[in-house]
Homo-oligomer: A and B are copies of this chain.
Amino acid sequence: MSQDSEYTPPRVWTWEKASGGHFSSINRPIAGPTHDEELPVGKHPFQLYSMATPNGVKATVMFEELLELGHKDAEYDAWLIRIGEGDQFGSGFVAVNPNSKIPALVDHSTPEPTRVFESGSILLYLAEKFDAFLPKAHAARTETLNWLFWQMGSAPFLGGGFGHFYTYAPIKIEYAIDRYTMEAKRQLDVLNRRLAETRYLGGDEYTIADMAAWPWYGQVVLNRVYEAGEFLQVQEYEHVIRWAKEIDARPAVQRGRMVNRNFGEPHEQLHERHDASDFETRTQDKLGEQQ
């Protein structure tokens, strides 16, 4: 791989499988399945196939919030898709999400099973289905959707840009780190100014816009992803921190963060979730660790 400033791209790009850093084994220039593998199906109306990355956490927090509200029809089975091992390229997964990204959802409560992919689409789907976490008033609904779409279009610069070049890339490239750090800080400042004016992104109510943004921006200012708190000077974003802490304290968020998690502290990991009681074992583990 050249780091030479004289590099000239070829006329036609070709796939060299050698380099690519942390995720080189799972990045490909083609779509479609790599192997036959059916997805498991549990007993609940909703079958979620995911992992506890920030995009995955959006969906599990939403399910836990719906259950917390008393929506028993929001019961779900959450199956772990190990993206580092290529589970997302199995034929069953690709049939649910042709984009081979988590989270992916199948709703079995409809006459025919309905596939839902893209975290923003899953949040909107569930919000409309349960009439929850999306305001009914026109202005508040519009503002919530503005921020939901803002998160979808912005976080690729935070995760795929800043996170990649600061944390995961095999070489440190100053130009790329500068480019995406500037954008990450700008986005945090956009949120900070908004949250100086309103309690939540959509306004007074906690909504799917917060559920979309918190796993990325909230966890960045809480210094849980990328270990970039000092580099980004996250303490400057005081209103984002206030909002992040408030959401972090919600019981549904604490549960949602654990689901499909196969990294970090053992007591925070719940690889699969099929029943509300699945969390209790983890709580006992935590008590055990603390003793």
Interface membership of chain A positions 205-234, coded 1 if the CB is closer than 8 angstroms to chain B and 0 otherwise? 000000000000000000000000011110
Tallying the copies of this chain within the complex gives 2
Q: Shortest Cβ distance from A15 into chain B, in angstroms? A: 7
From residue 1 to 50 of chain A, which have CB atoms closer than 8 A to chain B?
1-5, 7-13, 15-16, 19-20, 27-32
- Asked whether A156 is an interface residue with its Cβ less than 8 Å from the other chain, the reply is yes
Q: A8-B172, A12-B233, A176-B176 are in contact. Are A32 and B193 (CB under 8 A)?
A: yes
The yes or no answer to A277 lying at the interface (CB within 8 A) is no
The answer to the question of A263 belonging to the interface, with a C-beta cut-off of 8 Å to chain B, is no
User: Residue-by-residue, is A141-157 near B (CB-CB < 8 Å gives 1, otherwise 0)?
Assistant: 01101101110111111
CB of A110 closer than 8 Å to a CB of B? yes
Complex formed: what's the CA distance from A135 to B192 in Å?
Answer: 37
- With a cutoff of 8 Å between Cβ atoms, the chain B residues found around residue A121 in the complex are 142, 145-146, 148-150
List the B residue with the shortest CB-CB distance to A232.
B13
Q: In the complex, what residues of B have CB within 8 A of residue A152's CB?
A: 120, 149, 152-153
A190 contacts the other chain (CB 8 A) = yes
**A200 on interface, CB distance cutoff 8 Å:** no
Residues of the B chain whose Cβ atoms lie less than 8 Å from the Cβ of A124: 145, 149
- Does A99 reach chain B (CB closer than 8 Å)? yes
User: Contacts of A157 on B, CB cut-off 8 Å?
Assistant: 156, 160
Docked CA distance A231–B13 (Å) = 5
Evaluate contact between A190 and B3: CB separation under 8 angstroms.
no
Interchain CA distance A154-B157 in the complex, whole Å = 11
Closest to A32 in B: B193
Q: Is the CB of B193 within 8 A of A231?
A: no
> Residue A161 at the B interface, CB < 8 A?
yes
* A27 in contact with B183 (CB, 8 Å): yes
Of A68-76, A111-119, A243-251, the one contacting chain B is A111-119
Given A9-B174, A120-B153: 6 more A-B contacts, CB < 8 Å = A3-B3, A3-B4, A8-B172, A29-B186, A98-B193, A117-B150
A residues lining the B interface (CB < 8 Å): 1-5, 7-13, 15-16, 19-20, 27-32, 98-99, 110, 112, 114-121, 124-125, 138-139, 142-143, 145-146, 148-150, 152-157, 160-161, 164, 166, 169-179, 181-183, 185-187, 189-190, 192-194, 230-233
